[in-house]
Amino acid sequence: GESVGLHLPTLSVQEGDNSIINCAYSNSASDYFIWYKQESGKGPQFIIDIRSNMDKRQGQRVTVLLNKTVKHLSLQIAATQPGDSAVYFCAENKLRGGSNYKLTFGKGTLLTVNP
């Protein structure tokens, strides 16, 4: 069935190192992918997105890579800081008939940054 999942449930890195969070998806018809950061007790915060006609997109300290061949998505965080500690979700935005989009979240990866 359709799903968006993550390879690693937890990731621990040292401050200053680069972090890579991975995500697999199964629906090749998906056209839009988003990474969210969720801190404890808060709602998800938008980080970066990428459309299916792209394979790379860069933001401030973050890069998202999309490999449609193997249906894989990754989020790279450069020079990880303690404030980056949170749960990171990939989400898949699928066209569900007409103009209705359904956002499907992956399981989440807990990133812990050690000072």
- Please, what is the minimum distance in Å from the beta carbon of residue 58 to other proteins? 16
What's the angle, vertex CA 94, arms to CA 36 and CA 5, rounded to 5? 50
DSSP 82: G
- Tokens 């933001």 sit at which residue? 59
Under the criterion CB under 8 A, does residue 103 sit at the interface with other proteins? yes
- Please, what is the minimum distance in Å from the beta carbon of residue 24 to other proteins? 14
- Please, what is the minimum distance in Å from the beta carbon of residue 51 to other proteins? 10
Using the minimum distance from each CB to other proteins, give the nearer residue, 16 or 59: 59
Under the criterion CB under 8 A, does residue 112 sit at the interface with other proteins? no
Q: Which two tokens stand for residue 105?
A: 């979240």
Q: Distance of CA 63 to CAs 42, 50, 75, 101, Å?
A: 23, 10, 6, 24
Under the criterion CB under 8 A, does residue 49 sit at the interface with other proteins? yes
In the set 89, 92, 111, 113, which binds other proteins (CB under 8 A)? Answer: 89
Residues near 40 by beta carbon (within 8 Å), at least 6 away in sequence: 86
Under the criterion CB under 8 A, does residue 67 sit at the interface with other proteins? no
What's the angle, vertex CA 55, arms to CA 97 and CA 68, rounded to 5? 60
In the set 27, 76, 93, 112, which binds other proteins (CB under 8 A)? Answer: 93
In the set 32, 52, 62, 72, which binds other proteins (CB under 8 A)? Answer: 32
